[in-house]
A and B are shown apart, each in its own frame.
Chain A
């Protein structure tokens, strides 16, 4: 084998350099997704099966057109958050599955490089799911998310993607704390909010204590904000503002927890155990 020639270290800290680091994790998720046939199931199969089964059920129940949109938007929301948060969780999961986490974290990266790069891939995949479901629901049930203009749909989509970052960060934190024993949270974490955030029904039907819990979930407010355009009065005031406020709070809190979990993993040796 020949000997590697000494190569010059490229240089100063700059925004460009930070973006290159972020691109590492975007590309990693992109390439893994690109090669994984099961990704098709995540983006296409399950969301469409879910949408069609819920859509057919409410058609069978002879629901009013407004109710059909109400319920289907909930389905969009759940699938979009699920797929997007999964990409953020992949930031930890890929390294854990391949036992390469110590080789990843020996590089001079910050947790935000990892999270932002993975989330950007989640934004792509989440948007793809949202768009696909919107197209299928228009074709199959005559429902258009753009019926009240692009702004409500865009506000909903952006809200869902930011919420997904928060969920993904919490899942990644659990993974970093408990290892692959917490893997199930990546697949079921979103389901926990299903009951309380009014995906398939208005929050007003929930018992009062659960409404308090619902108020703490950003998804509740994004759905309420969108459904307000359909004529359903929101239970909580200023839903969009509340939704974004909470989502940003969860992202910030989730990030702090994730960074702490990585630090803790360095202290307890979890980082090494996850690489064995």
Chain B
């Protein structure tokens, strides 16, 4: 991953282990994280990806100081999440897709109480709450009890609440889970806008690969508490040999020679459709055409498909 100095790191995780033990008198052990290590540079949007039960929430909860690890070390903004937990809490905030607040309180009151719990005096608190209501388009619903808000408004309120202390690190745990597509799009736009306008580090967990692809600078894939792979989405696709796919419709078996060209990772043919996997379609396509042209092969159709993080995940999960 990135070569950065410790001071440039927003998050540094080394060999994190966590096992949940439940039940009495017969204890059951459920390993949730096993030797997880990664770093997040400041200002990045970092995705923690994986299926349900992969350990994403456990990992983010440890970084948010809500959960203590069994082994390993985690530093957030240079502070130890166990020893300096209180100072970490002052500088981070958390929003989750499953957020919930007291049913009778209004968005205005929820934000006011959240701001008070960070010790913000009236002079800072009032304009901040008013600003957040405005900025997250909640002002019109400021006096509506929480349990009467729509799901989308609840989600926006959860996001707004995460800004009451102007955090340096924002932890978003499945921020769009269970939302309608249009609301999910708006939440993603909001996250992207935050990234553009502020030097804020965002740690995002999701099992929507499209969301991660759209937002994240770097990702790690988590499965059964272990990191399967990590890096920039583009690099990752190449690393797991999931290059761009180019499909030609042509006749004859001259396609076999395509496999020898530089940048070609794989080459197969079925019923006149030749599928070529290349490391970078934009770079290799002219050469592929030149090669076919030199051999007088007539191509009647061509399709280029870029791999998605989803396909990376499926590949990794095999």
Contacts and interface: CB of A to CB of B under 8 A. Distances in A.
A275 B58 CA distance: 13
A6 B66 contact: no
Nearest to B187: A1
Contacts of B314: none
Contacts of A16: 121
B61 interface: yes
Contact of B102 (A2, A13, A98, A105): A98
Given A4-B131, A5-B131, A7-B124, A103 B116 contact: no
Given A20-B116, A106-B89, A107-B114, A1 B165 contact: no
Interface residues of A, number: 47
Interface stretch (B8-16, B132-140, B287-295): B132-140
A20 B58 CA distance: 31
A169 B216 CA distance: 44
A185 to B, nearest CB: 18
Interface in B85-117: 86-87, 89-90, 92-94, 96, 98-105, 109, 112-114, 116-117
A32 B21 CA distance: 35
A237 B187 CA distance: 66
30 contacts: A1-B156, A3-B190, A4-B163, A6-B198, A7-B166, A9-B166, A10-B121, A13-B119, A16-B121, A20-B120, A21-B116, A24-B113, A28-B113, A31-B104, A32-B105, A35-B104, A98-B101, A102-B64, A102-B96, A103-B96, A104-B117, A106-B65, A107-B117, A107-B165, A108-B86, A108-B89, A108-B118, A108-B119, A110-B86, A272-B67
Interface of A: 1-10, 13, 16-18, 20-21, 23-25, 27-28, 31-32, 35-36, 94, 98-100, 102-110, 113, 266-269, 271-272, 275-276
Interface of B: 20-21, 57-58, 61, 64-68, 86-87, 89-90, 92-94, 96, 98-105, 109, 112-114, 116-121, 123-125, 128, 131-132, 134-137, 145, 156, 158, 161, 163, 165-166, 186, 189-190, 193-194, 196-198
